[in-house]
Amino acid sequence: MEFPCTNVLVFSLLLSLSSLSAFSYSVFSPVDNYLVDCGSAVDTTVDNRRFVADSSTSGALFSHSSGISLRNENPFASASPIYDTARVFTRPSKYEFEIREKGTHMVRLHFQTLNSSRFDSFHSQFHVLVNDHVVLTNFSGDNILNPRVNEYLIWVSCEKLVVRFIPIRNSKFAFVNAIEVISAPKDLVPVTAQYVNSEKNENFDGLAEQALEVVYRVNVAGPKVTPYNDTLWRTWIPDNEYLESSFGSKSLYFGGRIKYRKGGASREVGPDNVYNTARVIQSTSDSIPEIKITWAFPVIGGYKYLVRMHFCDIASISLGLLYFNVYVNGNLAYKDLDLSAASNYMLASPFYADFVVDGDGLDVLTVSVGPSNMSMAHAIVGILNGVEIMKMNNSMGSLDGMVCAGSISRSWPRGNVGVLVPLVAVVCLLVGISLGMQRRMFSNKDSLSWSKLPVDVSETNVKH
Ligand SMILES: *[C@@H]1O[C@H](CO)[C@@H](O)[C@H](O)[C@H]1NC(C)=O
Ligand SMILES: *[C@@H]1O[C@H](CO)[C@@H](O)[C@H](O)[C@H]1NC(C)=O
Ligand SMILES: *[C@@H]1O[C@H](CO)[C@@H](O)[C@H](O)[C@H]1NC(C)=O
Ligand SMILES: *[C@@H]1O[C@H](CO)[C@@H](O)[C@H](O)[C@H]1NC(C)=O
Ligand SMILES: *[C@@H]1O[C@H](CO)[C@@H](O)[C@H](O)[C@H]1NC(C)=O
């Protein structure tokens, strides 16, 4: 008699649990989702995510040049196991991923110097291209003590995404520990953002087609958010380092539910952990404090930057009380922001605003919030929950220097022999022979070992 009862109980409990989780969470499942553990012979699972070994890729929807698999001889105990192996390339090489859904893709490249007698990190220096974009030039793998993750948002309009590794042509090599290629949600990069400078605010169109590099992703007044706790497996770092002065402001934590809504920021744009903490300015008397909170981010000049600021009113006691101004590089970017109206009259509902700024001659990018003429006494007069700063490709299509992908590819003429017309091939051959003779004459051990290295070279040849 008791058993059916318990069954019903268990069943209804399961039902309520599943409806509860469906209500609070629908997990994003990307169409393209490649996680590759480079140089590894076995798959590696990190935070419930399986990084596929690239040593045997038969049947996989990606392929790569052979290169050399390396294993860390003294693994760093604290680091994730994906950093224990790397694939090393001594000549231009690539990973090719089949793309099933066109649009923005997140590309993450993981690097950490391996401690291996077969790998002298001093000799690693290389360029990296993603499709037509230069993402890294003259990158040296020397002394990367903590794992380094470079993240890019790349618009893909063809069936392939190709990551190319091009060693500097001077006995150097390239390496990579892991690669992620993941379709981004449609709303992650908008078509238009507001271009802000000292003279005017206007629309910046075609944003989605630009290549972006995430340079800062900050959880204001909150802890570090790891890929395990982020809807798109991102990392958000705390803001302490970038806060210019905390004077007159305070940090806030909200224990309630963040109310994501259609048309607003989705959980993929920013997770709960980012929206449930904030730094605020509060008016505690009949007057409005004349202060701003400012965060300063060192940047490299000569690029435009996309600044995304995340807001969520977790501080006001009721709607219609929070008005403030938003500044980027000291210029008014959003006047009298009414967070209640922006979040469709719902408290604890997220909103974000995108601004494009010109980084010409800039070495620090600042964002600030502070009271506006509409701010009210005894209320919150400024708030920020999170901020992301992304570098935009320059006119050469590059995120790292004034050089285009084509000229980097051409730095290794022999890699292109396959597509050259026979006449040019003959010329190349002649040039090659004369170069070879020159090399012989100046008998340089390094450059000889370079040209001799076959693709699947045995480990001993890699040492210089
Ligand atoms: C690399 O391994 C060697 C040999 O075990 C060790 O002496 C050295 O400290 C290690 N270096 C690093 C950076 O871990
Ligand atoms: C790489 O560095 C070398 C020497 O520092 C410089 O001459 C070259 O222009 C750089 N290449 C690129 C693509 O930035
Ligand atoms: C995930 O977030 C929870 C609560 O915010 C925290 O307790 C936990 O340590 C986080 N886990 C990781 C792996 O970051
Ligand atoms: C308030 O309005 C005045 C006049 O329009 C303007 O000069 C001032 O900058 C405004 N103050 C703020 C904090 O927006
Ligand atoms: C980024 O690169 C594309 C070409 O890939 C180019 O059309 C675009 O103008 C570049 N963006 C900027 C801001 O220069």
- Window from 88-92, 117-121, 265-269, 458-462 with minimum mean pLDDT: 458-462
pLDDT(16) > 90: no
CA distance 227 to 46: 10
Task: Tell me the CA–centroid distance for residue 116 and ligand 1, in Å.
Answer: 8
- The pLDDT of residue 198 is 83
* 136 and 73 fall within a common domain: yes
Name the residue at shortest CA distance from atom 1 of ligand 2: 138
In a domain, 432, yes or no: no
Count up the domains in the chain and report the number.
Answer: 2
How would residue 11 be classed by pLDDT, with cut points 50, 70 and 90?
very low
pLDDT(290) > 60: yes
In a domain, 427, yes or no: no
Evaluate: CB of 401 within 6 angstroms of ligand 2.
Answer: yes
- Window from 6-15, 167-176, 250-259 with minimum mean pLDDT: 6-15
CA distance 329 to 332: 8
In a domain, 141, yes or no: yes
The DSSP code for 198 is S
* Domain boundary pick from 368, 392, 416: 392
* 40 and 107 fall within a common domain: yes
- Window from 191-195, 197-201, 331-335, 368-372 with minimum mean pLDDT: 197-201
Ligand 4 site, CB within 6 A = 325, 371-373
- Classified as helix, coil or strand, 211 is coil
Q: What is Dmax (Cα atoms) for the chain? A: 96
* 177 and 204 fall within a common domain: no
CA distance 311 to 295: 15
Enter the pTM of the model.
0.84
Query: To test the ligand 2 pocket, which listed residue (127, 136, 138) has its Cβ within 8 A of the most ligand atoms?
Result: 138
Task: Give the angle subtended at the CA of 152 by the CAs of 304 and 97, to the nearest 5°.
Answer: 140
* 262 and 339 fall within a common domain: yes
CA distance 234 to 330: 29
182 beta partners: 33, 106
- 254: domain CATH number is 2.60.120.430
CA distance 58 to 295: 48
Helices (H) and strands (E) in the chain, counts: 6, 28
* 385 and 254 fall within a common domain: yes
- Of the listed ligands, the closest to the CA of 155 is 5
Residue 67 in contact with residue 270, Cβ under 8 Å? no
* 243 and 347 fall within a common domain: yes
Task: Tell me the CA–centroid distance for residue 210 and ligand 5, in Å.
Answer: 6
* Domain boundary pick from 346, 375, 392: 392
* 102 and 179 fall within a common domain: yes
How would residue 66 be classed by pLDDT, with cut points 50, 70 and 90?
confident
| Residue whose pair of structure tokens reads 């893909």 in the numeric block | 156
In a domain, 435, yes or no: no
* 206 and 98 fall within a common domain: no
Angle between helices 445-452 and 422-441 (to 10 degrees): 150
- The pLDDT of residue 19 is 37
- Of the listed ligands, the closest to the CA of 74 is 1
Predicted confidence (pLDDT) per residue in 373-426, tens digit: 999 999 999 999 999 999 999 999 999 999 999 999 998 876 443 333 333 333
Name the residue at shortest CA distance from atom 2 of ligand 4: 373
pLDDT(126) > 90: yes
* 168 and 256 fall within a common domain: no
- Of the listed ligands, the closest to the CA of 369 is 4
- Classified as helix, coil or strand, 450 is helix
pLDDT(5) > 80: no
In a domain, 403, yes or no: no
* 177 and 218 fall within a common domain: no
pLDDT(464) > 80: no
Task: Tell me the CA–centroid distance for residue 177 and ligand 1, in Å.
Answer: 19
Residue 324 in contact with residue 372, Cβ under 8 Å? yes
Cα 68 to chain centroid, rounded: 26
pLDDT(450) > 90: no
In a domain, 103, yes or no: yes
* 203 and 293 fall within a common domain: yes
In a domain, 429, yes or no: no
* Domain boundary pick from 138, 161, 183: 183
In a domain, 11, yes or no: no
Q: Which structural domain, as residue segments, surrounds residue 206?
A: 193-392
Residue 307 in contact with residue 215, Cβ under 8 Å? no
* 142 and 248 fall within a common domain: no
Residues belonging to the chain: 464
Predicted confidence (pLDDT) per residue in 206-233, tens digit: 999 999 999 999 999 999 999 999 999 9
CA distance 417 to 335: 58
